[in-house]
Structure 1
């Protein structure tokens, strides 16, 4: 299994505030959809609830501590280990948030698909620091701000150097 973290984070690693994203970047959404469609995606309960339900054309696996929690169209589990065990072992699996789930999974990840948004914002959810001793930046694609994108951003692909 290849475990890929996929996120959009500001220069201060901010992901969101009050369970909402703090920007709207349509080209980031397109890239996210292109990369994750057809795959298993793993997220925390709050991330699911911030999205108006499960994402189509993907297997949505939700991690929660709430033992009675249910959500139509989702597989509910109670730990990252359980979430990964529910995924096909020979495919790429995407961890899509939030901050706590990224923190728990970064040491098991093989790849990071990060949209680095060129701004600093107040937030209550953060992406973990990428340790450049463990990770190698293999691709960078710059996207300037325009009429649909409030900020400049860069699509970054990081791969694990050492386990």
Structure 2
């Protein structure tokens, strides 16, 4: 079965970022993102793709844009809808949906799992993560990460599966 996993870090107020950038720096969360997504396809919107200085190593990038003339700044697959992106994922493959806000919203109906790092604070933002409706999602794992000298904020890894 095809697995489509939404992966995100969002604040208590669902803030994801501002001005196409994250509003916190959490090294262990980056490490977990890398460990989970390496070797898989990553699906993202154009703005998320453009927020990267270069391609993330050992991952196949699939960027979604409405612009039919879009030229990415590094080699990747460009599609024009979430459905086209999902069609590129094989029946026994896992792909990660890595943002941004609009792509997360569209993918809530088709995702099989959510890996959410809940940052325990609120932030001013211009991009937000959608609400997780517990009618459709079960929290299956939870792991708290305290604030420390490398992490300005405490956060919790939350793993959800579609009911």
Q: CA deviation at 1:80?
A: 0.2
| TM-score, normalising length: structure 2 | 0.97
- Alpha-carbon distance between aligned partners in 2 of 1:51 and 1:151, rounded to the nearest angstrom: 23
Residues 25-61 of structure 1 deviation map (CA, whole Å, 9 limit, x = unaligned): 0000000000000000000010011111321100000
Root mean square deviation, CA, Å: 0.7
2:38 is aligned to: 37
| TM-score, normalising length: structure 1 | 0.97
Q: CA deviation at 1:89?
A: 2.2
Give the paired residue count: 161
Q: How does 1:13-162 map to 2 (within 5 A)?
A: 13-71=14-72, 72-161=74-163
Q: CA deviation at 1:70?
A: 1.9
- Alpha-carbon distance between aligned partners in 1 of 2:89 and 2:71, rounded to the nearest angstrom: 19
Q: Secondary structure at the match of 2:108?
A: helix
